[in-house]
Amino acid sequence: MRDEAFRSSRQSIHGLLCIFASVALLALSISPPARADLPAFLESAKLTPIGGAPEGGFGRAVAIDGDRAVVTANQGSFIMDTTPEEIGAAAYVFERDAAGVWHQTAKLVPNAPIGQSGLYGYSVALEGNVIVVGAPYWSAAHVYEYSGSSWVNSTSLNGPGFGISVAIENGIIGVSSNTPHGMRLFQRQNGAWTQIATFANGGNAGGSNYMGPNVDVTTNHAIHWSPGDNLTDPELPEAVYIYSRPASGDWSTATVSTLTGNINRNLKISGNAAVIGGAVYERSAGGEWVPVPGDLAVEGDADIDGALVARGELVRERASVGNWPAVARLVASDGQQLGRSRLSGRRIVSNRLQQDEPAAYVFDVPEDPQETFLQPVDFESGQASGWNALSGNFSVVTSGATRVYRQSDYAGNATSMFTGSYGRNQSVHGYIVPRAFNGADRWFGLAVRYTDANNHYYITVRSSQQIQLKKIVGGVVQTLASASMSVAVNRGYNLRLEANAARLRVFADDRLLFDVTDNSLLQGYSGVMMYKARADIDNITFGGNPGAVHFSTGFETGDPNVAGANGWQVVTVNGSQVISNATTSNTSHAVAAGSLHYNGTAASVRARATQFDGADRWFGLALRYKDAQNYHYITVRGSNTILLRKLVNGVPQTLDSASLPVTLNTWYQLRLEIIDQKLVAYVNNNPVLEATDPSLPSAGNLGGAALLTYKALGQFDDFHVFGY
């Protein structure tokens, strides 16, 4: 007997579409509104070097062209008047095979002893069968060409300031130069790479530490930056110079445009558009370069290719003249923040902003990324608006101080789908408390891409102390992944199931458990399921984007990895490492994950107070932390209360409160969750506080997470920050 197949409810949801249409229109009109959200995409591939890049600094520079990518490794210093701090250098070549799998196919190394490679790999460029690797310490740009079986170092271009920046397009190599200041162009002629142009503008005000400008080149444009020079008369301002050659002319007839003002050295150009620092420029019909209003507003070194701009996690696409709206977000599955981006059509390679582990990421952005949604659902209205219960006995009931969606029939299968969740890329995230199991190996869980009882993906949290990711296709059940898990009645579980393209991921209490590839099912609904189990469901969030663990530490390395004030330090408690503040002065903060761009975020930590310096002192946890005067937070107080508050320009406001026995040296598991404008606080896996704050922003940098104390000594462990 198959418990996973519905025995009594064999109807297809699609067989009920006419009912759904009328029910959904009414239900969704009174259910919480969905927040429009940019579609987000996980990486298509994570590039890691064979042997782990012993040189260090993997991701120093990246380049991509079609099915080939190059990632360099070098952690040497770029300061000119110091010895290069190198332990080696390399450029790793990766290629995508016919099955779509990326492999390392070559490792290029300098022809020099270790530590004497001249910052080899500080820059890199790729086009077709040509790779250019910059080595600015030796004023060189090394050119490699693919012979059909291997990469051959065909030449090295040498000159003052060469190698700090390199570029290639349409067979033209652009190389930085500092004497004269500007850039030089090379092209293969008569079997050799020959200089075809020198562009000299701007000045060198950087002294011995300045090696040269950033550069880029296209078929008809070349571009470089200048820091300016305040020692000349007149002074030269910081500027960007763009050289444009006529369609029928050569580079000797190029005209120059000078851009000054709010610019910086990071620049790229494509066609009649350029990205300079945080701004996009377009070339008008009259040949003027005009800045597009707005800022790219994320960290990272940007690139542009045609109508697409990528910078950090954000992708923009030109919709019309002067209009480059954001169309997608990029999410590294391991939660790492993305840094430098390079484009080839709609394919992007990005390095990690923190190059602490050897990895780079390839993303594929579809032609028409569809806007997705983020919809938090609770049951405080007393209604299950938007839900369609297909089997079981679901109802909204009062449980303590809140209302929940209760399934009370444990005779067989029970399922309920949310009618507003239909789609391809899906996520469902919720809090479920099992109340009873009827027999052995019973379960509760979540489902995505549900089309009928015989076709869907789902997770089962089982009374046999397991969690499983399963699929049922055409009535045939297959387990895709499984793991041990402590399961008990009346204990709450924060669960998340995602389907993003062919990736299926499962999280429990914000920890990634499974990451599986399967493309058997393409779309459907999402919701909750269980078999011979009773359970309460609350604080469900439906969306279309993947989540990511943005910060996670148990402080076992001894490095707190947070920006602490007032002497925060890692100490040993009963053989385990925890972080603690050292004084009972006023509010003390330890900040992590300081730049999140998710409408849904959750932070959790195990915490306790070892000393209260007076009455009503407290320890706590913050989200949406912008600075020491602006954040949302929970406080566990010596007065035996817990408060959910917000601090705006230093002025606190209480949003909700509850009684909570608080004892010194007792550990409490805290969790603060903010989804759009909804806030929920948990203690020991139980929701204790809820509030809505319409003032919460939903775009841009939404702040980070922080540990807090006020006139108390606190200890914190297992600190995690999750975004979705």
Among 490, 512, 544, residue at a domain's last position: 544
Q: State whether 523 and 587 are in the same domain.
A: no
Per DSSP bridges, beta strands 289-291 and 279-283 are: antiparallel
| Residue 597 confidence class, pLDDT cut points 50, 70, 90 | low
Does 266 reside within a domain?
A: yes
| Residue 622: CB atoms within 10 Å | 25
Single out the residue of 627, 612, 718, 622 nearest to residue 667, CA to CA. 718
| Residue 298 confidence class, pLDDT cut points 50, 70, 90 | low
Q: Six-digit token pair at 612? A: 């209260």
Q: State whether 392 and 460 are in the same domain.
A: yes
Q: State whether 251 and 138 are in the same domain.
A: yes
CATH number of the domain encompassing residue 386: 2.60.120.560
Q: State whether 472 and 390 are in the same domain.
A: yes
Q: State whether 619 and 648 are in the same domain.
A: yes
Residue 609 — φ and ψ, nearest 5°? -105, 135
Q: State whether 347 and 431 are in the same domain.
A: no
Half-sphere exposure of 9 (CA within 13 A, CB side): 20
Q: State whether 694 and 677 are in the same domain.
A: yes
Q: State whether 342 and 443 are in the same domain.
A: no
pLDDT tens digits for range 257-294: 999 876 778 899 999 999 998 789 999 999 999 988 87
Indicate whether 12 pLDDT > 50: no
| Residue 209 confidence class, pLDDT cut points 50, 70, 90 | low
Q: State whether 413 and 485 are in the same domain.
A: yes
| Residue 210: CB atoms within 10 Å | 15
Q: State whether 528 and 557 are in the same domain.
A: no
Q: State whether 389 and 530 are in the same domain.
A: yes
CATH number of the domain encompassing residue 164: 2.130.10.10
Residues of the domain holding 468: 13-39+372-544
- Tell me the average pLDDT across 619-640: 93
Q: State whether 710 and 563 are in the same domain.
A: yes
Indicate whether 18 pLDDT > 50: no
d(CA 172, CA 187): 5
Report which DSSP code applies to 296: -
Determine the distance from the C-alpha atom of residue 156 to the mean position of all C-alpha atoms in its chain, rounded to a whole number.
37
Share of the chain above pLDDT 90, in %: 61
pLDDT at 701: 62
| Residue 593 confidence class, pLDDT cut points 50, 70, 90 | low
pLDDT at 30: 34
Does 157 reside within a domain?
A: yes
Does 623 reside within a domain?
A: yes
Among 544, 569, 598, residue at a domain's last position: 544
Does 229 reside within a domain?
A: yes
d(CA 430, CA 600): 12
Q: What's the structural domain count of the chain?
A: 3
pLDDT tens digits for range 608-619: 999 999 999 999
Q: Rounded to two decimals, what is the model's pTM?
A: 0.79
d(CA 228, CA 474): 68
pLDDT at 355: 67
Per DSSP bridges, beta strands 308-311 and 279-283 are: unpaired
pLDDT tens digits for range 555-575: 877 666 666 555 788 889 988
- Tell me the average pLDDT across 399-407: 91
pLDDT tens digits for range 56-111: 889 999 999 999 999 999 887 665 545 455 667 999 999 999 989 999 999 999 98
Per DSSP bridges, beta strands 151-158 and 140-146 are: antiparallel
Q: How many residues does the chain have?
A: 724
Start-to-end CA distance of the chain, whole Å, equals 37
